[in-house]
Structure formats: structure tokens, C-alpha cells
């Protein structure tokens, strides 16, 4: 077991057992003080953020990083992500050492502590990565089967290619936003009556999609694919993703080339990036891939995933507290993140530092584990009760959707925080 993930580790900073940010996690993010100033890069520990630029300027990373600078003056993590696994490991080990309850360097230096450790109540999170490109996959067999059952043939729900290829589409990087950013209901064309021309106006069937994403560290050259065995060296870490979807716009536009305006208006991510090192203790078997077996370039012999508990909560403007409407798990994903990355690059496509890839909707085997309103309400035919006098078929204006997730350890959690967004009314455009 790696020393930084030892369940017995304790920080000199008090961290409650249900906190998402114990010393075993150490996720990366970007923040800005509410009092003003530029964004900075940090690591979450309990209810505090550790300012990495302060540690770098004090020389704590000099030996580990051979004097290289990755945090001072930077507002995005791209430079550090591109540095590769050796740099990631060096910083993680250094920070873990400094936060350890038995290490005096930071613990007993009150001036340094007051400068480097900032209460989360005094900051606001900013987008941590300059996202160059964004691809969204469609990798949950349960979700694909549900959609195929609803819209095609219940006896032949999966399309012929689905068990052979990690299906994906190119999303819109410019509209990826940080948790807490309000989202306006999109306008677009829909065709509610198949016997009449389409109409223009606000989406009426707005949905969330419970997903997880990962960020690319070092990229690859054009024409040089990333092998499956090397994929992890290109993956920096994971976040929660809500791929907001306008179902009625999607229905009208998706043939022949797939999603367009129904997906490009907003994608919400959680602010903290959890590294694969932190997730390593929670590696688990994924779904069996035997019938058919993946083609050789996608076949590692055994499908490996991560045991990440996921939840979705919904809160209307009339509710004091959000209601949980979904419980799922990342381990249900049929195609894993290594296969997704390898397939994406197998054509020779060049992947760049900061690129984001998302899993697609994460649905499980039971109705309460479905990762979208489309499935939870079965196309609106089974309204969902969210409060004694409130039901939902799809998302309404002023509703807030909150995604959260964590890995449960022995007395601690490695969590992702939240990815939340409130839906505002559509803007008038005519």
C-alpha cells in the first residue's frame, strides 16, 4: 500500500470521518479569496485549502521537483498536469508529509499556517483546468439498454456496435462550468407534433445526467496512439460531471449526426480533481467483458473500475432541503477510462493536457440507480415524488440538481465534493 493512502494516516488538521477531504485524498483545485485577488491553485484538506503557491515559494518542492515551478502565478493546473506522473507523485508525497500529524514544518509554524491554510468559508472555487477539448462517452450498459428499450426495440435494445466500441461524441469545452454556476434553460427547435413543422422556444424536457469525467495530463503526438497499458500515465484525475440534456431538442436534432444544441449549453463539473493515486485503494472489478471479448487493442484481460458511490439530489425553490433521487456507482460502467482514452486516440487523434473526457450517464441495475430523469420517470410516464406535494417528470425552472460521490474507506472517505447547478428561466431571444 502506498504511504499516502494508508488508512492510519492522520493530519494535524482535524478532519471529520464524513469529510470528503482527508489526508488520504488531497485533491487539486483552483480558488479565489472572497476578499479579492487572482485565482490560485490548492489542495483540499478537511475544511481548508492548502495554497500550493505558498509552499512552492517557500521551497518545499525544490528537491522533489528539481527546482521546477508549477504553481506560482498559475491559475490553471495544465502545466502541472503535463509534467507527468513523477511530478504528481513528488507533490503528493511532499504535501502528505507536511500535513501529517507528526510533521512539525507546517504544524508548528503559525505564520506559515496562517498564510498557506485558508478556510473554505473564505474562498470561492474557480475552474481548475483550461479545458482544451471535451469528449463525452456512452459507456453504461444499463443506461444504453434503458434508452434502447424506450425508443427502439425492447428485445434488441443495444445497437450492433455498442459491445464492441466505446461510443462517444465531441462536446463543447467552452460551456463546461464549475459547480454552483446557474444555468439558463436552453432555447432551440423541437417538434412536439410529428405531423406539424418544428417550433422554436425553451426546452420543455430538461434533464440531468449523472456522470464522471477525467482530465488528461501528458498528451500524445498526432498519429501516435496511446496504448492501453500506458493509458493511466496520461490520466491526471477524476471529477463529477452533470451533462445537462435538452431531451426534446435532442429528439429532433440527433439524426443523422447525434447531439448538438441539446448538449452544448452547459456541462457542470465538481471543483476538486481526485487523482488516480487517491482512488487506487478503491479499484474493483468492472462488468465482465466476455461476450464478446474486446478487440485486442482494448483487452487488458480483466475489466478494472473504481468503487465510487454516487448520489443525485434535487431541490425545488419551495423546498428547504434537497431530496435524494438517485443512488448509483461508478463500477457499473461497462467501458473503463483506460479503454475510453485508448479508443479515442487509436485513430491517431492527438490528446492534449487539459482535455476532459466524461463517462456518459451512469445507471445501475435498479430503478433507484438510474442516472437521469429520462430513466427515473421512464420518459415522464412515472412522475417522481420529490416532496409531499411536488412531483417531477423533468427539471423545472429554479430547480437545483446536486451530484455528489465518494469512496468509503475504513473510517474515512475519499470524496469529490459536489457538482451543483440551478436552472434559471430561458432568455428571451425573439
What's the start-to-end Cα distance of the chain, in Å? 60
pLDDT tens per residue, range 88-113: 999 999 999 999 999 999 999 999 99
Instruction: Please name each of the domains of the chain with its CATH number.
Output: 3-126 (2.30.30.230), 134-424 (3.90.850.10)
Note if the pTM is more than 0.75.
Answer: yes
Alpha-carbon dihedral sign for residues 303, 307, 308, 314: positive
d(CA 65, CA 77): 16
- From 73, 254, 64, 234, select the one nearest 151 (Cα to Cα): 254
Segment 283-306, tens digit of pLDDT: 999 999 999 999 999 999 999 999
Q: What distance lies between CA 274 and its chain's CA centroid? A: 9
Q: Kindly provide the residue ranges of all beta strands, DSSP E only, lying in 243-355, ordered along the sequence.
A: 245-246, 267-269, 274-275, 283-285, 304-306, 309-315, 323-329
pLDDT of the chain, 430 residues: tens digit per residue: 368 999 999 999 999 999 999 999 999 999 999 999 999 999 999 999 999 999 999 999 999 899 899 999 999 999 999 999 999 999 999 999 999 999 999 999 999 999 999 999 999 999 999 999 999 999 999 999 999 999 988 888 999 999 999 999 999 999 999 999 999 999 999 999 999 999 999 999 999 999 999 999 999 999 999 999 999 999 999 999 999 999 999 999 998 988 999 999 999 999 999 999 999 999 999 999 999 999 999 999 999 999 999 999 999 999 999 999 999 999 999 999 999 999 999 999 999 999 999 999 999 999 999 999 999 999 999 999 999 999 999 999 999 999 999 999 999 999 999 999 999 999 998 7
Active site (annotated) includes residue 143: yes
Q: What angle do CA 106, 112, 116 make, to 5 degrees?
A: 90
Residue 123's φ and ψ, nearest 5 degrees, are -130, 165
Pair 177, 164: CB distance under 8 Å = no
Does residue 424 sit in helix, strand or coil?
strand
181-199 burial, b for 16+ CB within 10 Å, e for fewer? eebebbbbebeeeeeeeee
Which residue in 20, 143, 313, 343 is the catalytic one? Answer: 143
Strand ranges (DSSP E) for 116-175?
A: 117-119, 123-126, 134-137, 168-170
Q: How many CB atoms within 10 Å of residue 33?
A: 15
Amino acid at each position: 500500500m502506498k504511504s499516502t493512502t494508508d488508512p492510519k494516516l492522520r493530519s494535524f488538521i482535524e478532519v471529520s470521518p464524513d469529510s470528503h477531504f482527508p489526508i488520504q485524498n488531497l485533491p487539486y483545485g483552483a480558488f479565489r479569496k472572497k476578499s479579492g485577488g487572482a485565482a490560485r491553485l490548492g489542495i483540499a484538506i478537511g475544511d481548508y485549502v492548502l495554497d500550493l503557491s505558498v509552499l512552492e515559494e517557500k521551497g518545499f518542492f525544490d528537491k522533489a521537483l528539481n527546482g521546477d515551478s508549477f504553481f506560482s502565478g498559475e491559475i490553471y493546473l495544465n502545466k502541472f498536469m503535463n509534467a507527468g506522473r513523477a511530478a504528481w507523485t513528488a507533490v503528493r508525497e511532499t504535501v502528505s508529509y507536511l500535513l501529517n500529524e507528526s510533521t512539525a514544518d507546517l504544524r508548528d509554524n503559525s505564520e506559515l499556517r496562517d498564510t498557506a491554510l485558508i478556510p473554505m468559508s473564505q474562498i470561492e472555487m474557480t475552474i481548475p483546468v483550461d479545458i482544451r477539448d471535451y469528449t463525452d462517452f456512452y459507456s453504461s450498459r444499463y443506461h444504453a439498454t434503458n434508452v434502447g428499450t424506450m425508443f427502439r426495440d425492447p428485445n434488441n435494445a443495444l445497437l450492433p456496435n455498442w459491445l464492441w466500441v466505446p461510443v462517444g461524441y465531441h462536446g463543447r469545452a467552452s460551456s463546461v462550468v464549475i459547480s454552483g454556476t446557474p444555468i439558463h434553460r436552453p432555447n432551440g427547435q423541437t417538434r412536439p407534433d410529428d405531423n406539424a413543422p418544428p417550433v422554436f422556444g425553451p426546452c420543455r424536457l430538461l434533464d440531468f445526467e449523472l456522470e464522471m469525467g477525467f482530465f488528461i495530463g501528458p498528451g500524445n503526438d498526432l498519429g501516435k496512439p496511446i496504448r492501453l497499458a500506458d493509458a493511466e500515465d496520461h490520466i491526471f484525475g477524476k471529477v463529477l460531471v452533470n451533462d445537462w440534456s435538452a431531451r426534446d431538442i435532442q429528439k429532433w436534432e440527433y439524426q443523422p449526426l447525434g447531439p448538438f444544441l441539446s448538449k452544448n449549453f452547459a456541462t457542470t463539473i465538481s471543483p476538486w480533481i481526485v487523482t488516480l493515486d487517491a482512488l487506487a485503494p478503491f479499484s474493483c472489478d468492472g462488468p465482465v467483458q466476455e461476450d464478446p471479448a474486446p478487440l485486442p487493442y482494448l483487452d487488458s484481460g480483466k475489466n478494472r473500475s473504481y468503487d465510487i458511490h454516487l448520489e443525485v439530489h434535487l431541490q425545488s425553490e419551495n423546498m428547504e432541503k434537497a431530496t435524494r433521487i438517485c443512488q448509483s456507482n461508478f463500477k457499473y460502467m461497462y467501458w473503463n477510462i483506460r479503454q475510453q482514452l485508448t479508443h479515442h486516440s487509436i485513430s491517431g487523434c492527438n490528446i492534449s493536457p487539459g482535455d476532459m473526457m466524461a463517462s456518459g450517464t451512469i445507471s445501475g441495475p435498479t430503478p433507484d440507480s438510474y442516472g437521469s430523469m429520462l430513466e427515473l420517470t421512464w420518459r415522464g410516464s412515472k412522475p417522481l415524488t420529490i416532496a409531499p406535494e411536488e412531483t417531477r417528470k423533468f427539471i423545472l425552472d429554479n430547480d437545483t440538481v446536486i451530484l455528489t460521490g465518494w469512496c468509503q474507506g475504513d473510517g474515512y472517505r475519499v470524496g469529490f465534493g459536489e457538482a451543483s447547478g440551478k436552472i434559471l428561466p430561458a432568455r428571451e431571444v425573439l
